[in-house]
A = this chain, B = another copy of it.
Amino acid sequence: MAPPTLHKNQLFVGTFIHSKSLNQLDYLHDAAVAIDKSGKIVAIEPQCCDQGKAAEMLYPKLGWGAADVEVRACEEGQFFFPGFVDTHIHAPQYPNAGIFGNSTLLDWLNKYTFPMEASLAASTRARRVYGQVVRRTLSHGTTAAAYYATIDVAATNLLADLCLAAGQRAFVGRVCMDRLAPDYYIDEGGPDAVLARTQETIDHMRRIDPQGDIVAPILTPRFAPACTPETMAALGRLASEEDLRVQTHLSENVGEIALVCELFPDAADYASVYDGFGLLTPRTVLAHAVHLSEAEAALIKKRGAKVAHCPCSNSALTSGECRVRWLLDRGVAVGLGTDVSGGYSASVLEAARLACLVSRHLAMPYNAQGDASRATLSVEEVLHLATRGGAAVLGLDRKVGGFEVGMEWDAQLIGLNMVDDHDAADIDMEKKSGDVVDDGGNVDIFGWEKWDERIAKWVYNGDDRNTKMVWVKGRLVHQRASSASS
């Protein structure tokens, strides 16, 4: 059941693009990247024209024989990019993607979310839904994800099994919620029972992936209103004793914040509630963080906790506009989350696009007064959040998120649609039975675009059709049907 090892070394040749810093991408053309059988990047050769040259330069250094290497060169216009990191996604809510009406957080939970999550206790349904989530997120280039499952132990373990089998890096959390939940979907039996069920899922994941290379557990108190103080305290102790990751929600919606104030009248603020139970740690992922005060941001920074920014969800549920620049200015680490199904899309690229747009909505009042605003995020910045930023949020920043020797090969091969003259000439022929569009996706490249313009086009119009192949730890985990030929 352990992650399979690779049979060959691998050499990738072509254009490699990744984040160098928050606002700068590094473009490596005619480069080669060598991956050993453990999935690690062992060499990067920035100038080597073609694969023959690359082999000549690298194999002797690495002690590789040509027969022991699989070579893949990207085609004209294609490039390798680091895999995306989804720092916040609810796997069981996937069938509800796009279904939220005009609701906001608290009514959305009761109307759409809890019934769907509860229904996944049935294992055939869970297998069908979780299988599709993992397939879809891989097809969108998500190589690592922090998943919320449900309160159900068996279904949570199944999700971990599926991620491991598919080869997607995943932190999988059984949701803890022992109050203010509906009768049909609540963690029963008191804190000891809640902890015992959580422990069962931790044990399962440690059994199927002892090193936690691909799949590892994460403690998941749903959010403060849905957990008794006793349960949060117990989870905080467990997190500390075993140095476990934690994920929860923070300051998503004003109604939720008011509820927290009511439930925890002695706490200074929402963030302090978690802190009081030892749940604000350097291994904690806080989803949303939309309405934080200065004091809360300072506390989060002090504890080293991280933020999952979920722009798609925050807009869809009318929650608010997360001040990403404000958080970054305060030294808080930020990554992107799809937050399916508060967010309607399972694509981190869509989350990156929406992060651009939400930042512009934040900037509007300033622009309207003729002031400059620093709120606006650039394409380069949101791609950093989607890769290195997310990796840092999940504590994987030394392993994935960029192309560096010593890091692991979590990557995607991106191809854009090259518009040729033949395409254009087609249009004014008399039609027979309608037009046919081949499916290279919607990003049309006419050939005169600079590389940074191609990247911008990809961010704004790209989708899973542009993600031709995906690798995790060197293993090919997704490939589009058409990518063999086109």
CB atoms of A95 and B480 under 8 A apart: no
If A101-B378, A354-B357 are given as contacts, then 11 extra A-B residue pairs at C-beta distance below 8 Å, sorted by A number, are: A97-B461, A98-B456, A99-B449, A129-B446, A131-B425, A131-B427, A135-B423, A161-B428, A254-B368, A316-B357, A433-B476
Residues in B with CB closer than 8 Å to A428 are 131, 161-162, 165-166
Which residues from 75 to 111 on chain A have a C-beta closer than 8 Å to any C-beta of chain B? 94-95, 97-102, 104
Question: Whole-angstrom distance between the alpha carbons of A459 and B101 in the complex?
Answer: 12
Is the CB of A429 closer than 8 A to any CB of chain B?
A: yes
Q: Which of A274-282, A301-309, A464-472 contacts B (4 or more CB under 8 A)?
A: A464-472
Scan A406-426; emit 1 where CB is below 8 A from any B CB, else 0: 000000000000010101111
CA distance A347 to B442 in the complex (A): 10
Q: Is the CB of B461 within 8 A of A345?
A: yes
A361 in contact (CB, < 8 A)? yes
- Asked whether A435 is an interface residue with its Cβ less than 8 Å from the other chain, the reply is yes
Interface members, chain A 440-457 (any B CB < 8 Å): 442-444, 446, 448-449, 453, 456-457
| A/B interface sample: 24 pairs, CB < 8 A | A4-B430, A101-B379, A101-B456, A102-B376, A128-B419, A129-B424, A131-B424, A131-B426, A135-B435, A135-B437, A166-B428, A254-B368, A255-B370, A315-B361, A318-B364, A320-B364, A344-B460, A345-B442, A434-B469, A434-B470, A434-B479, A436-B479, A437-B481, A463-B463
Expressed in whole angstroms, the Cα–Cα distance for A112 and B367 within the complex equals 20
CA distance A100 to B456 in the complex (A): 8
Q: A190 to nearest B CB, angstroms?
A: 34
Residues of B within 8 A of A165 (CB): 427-431
| Chain B contacts for A255, CB-based, 8 A | 370
Do the beta carbons of A344 and B476 come within 8 Å of each other? no
User: Top 5 closest A-B pairs, CB basis?
Assistant: A98-B460, A434-B479, A131-B424, A128-B424, A344-B460
A446–B132 alpha-carbon span in the complex (Å): 10
**B-contact 0/1 string along A39-61, CB 8 Å cutoff:** 00000000000000000000000
Cα-based distance from A317 to B376 in the complex (angstroms): 10
Q: How many copies does the complex hold?
A: 2
B444 touches A478 (CB 8 A): no
Q: How far is the CB of A170 from chain B (nearest CB, A)?
A: 13
**Residue among B94, B360, B367, B480 making CB contact with A316, cutoff 8 Å:** B360
A465 to B480, alpha carbons, bound, how many Å?
Answer: 15
Q: List B contacts of A460 (CB < 8 A).
A: 97-98, 316, 344-345
Q: Are B478 and A435 in contact (CB under 8 A)?
A: yes
Determine whether the beta carbon of A457 is less than 8 Å from that of B98.
yes
**In the complex, are the beta carbons of A102 and B166 less than 8 A apart?**
no
Chain B residue numbers with a CB within 8 Å of A336 are none
Contact B469 A135 (CB under 8 A): no
Residues of B within 8 A of A129 (CB): 424, 446
CB distance from A95 to the nearest CB of B (A): 5
The listed residue with most B CB atoms (<10 A of its CB), out of A130, A136, A444, A458, is A444
Would A481 and B95 count as touching, CB distance under 8 A?
Answer: no
| Chain B hits for A162, CB < 8 A | 427-428
Is A321 in contact with chain B by the CB < 8 A criterion?
Answer: yes
Verify A127–B424 contact, CB threshold 8 A: yes
A241: B residues at CB distance < 8 A: none
A139 at the binding interface (Cβ < 8 Å): yes
CB distance from A256 to the nearest CB of B (A): 12
Residue in B139, B435, B442, B476 whose CB lies within 8 Å of A437:
B139
A363 within 8 A of B: yes
B439 engages A318 (CB within 8 Å): no
Question: Is A335 engaged at the interface, CB distance under 8 Å to the other chain?
Answer: no
A132 to B4: give the CA distance in the assembly, Å: 45
Q: Decide: B97 and A453 in contact? CB cutoff 8 A.
A: no
Q: Identify A364's interface contact among B321, B446, B457, CB under 8 A.
A: B321
Interface membership of A438, Cβ < 8 A: yes
Cβ of A177 < 8 Å from any Cβ of B?
A: no
Most buried by B among A315, A320, A433, A438: A315
How far, in angstroms, from A315 to B479 measured CA to CA in the complex?
34
In the assembled complex, how far is the CB of residue A154 from the closest CB belonging to chain B, in whole angstroms?
A: 15
Query: In the assembled complex, how far is the CB of residue A419 from the closest CB belonging to chain B, in whole angstroms?
Result: 5
Contact indicator A435/B361 (Cβ below 8 Å): no
Select one of B344, B367, B439 contacting A481, CB under 8 A.
B439
A204 to chain B, nearest CB (A): 15
Shortest C-beta distance, A284 to chain B (Å), equals 26
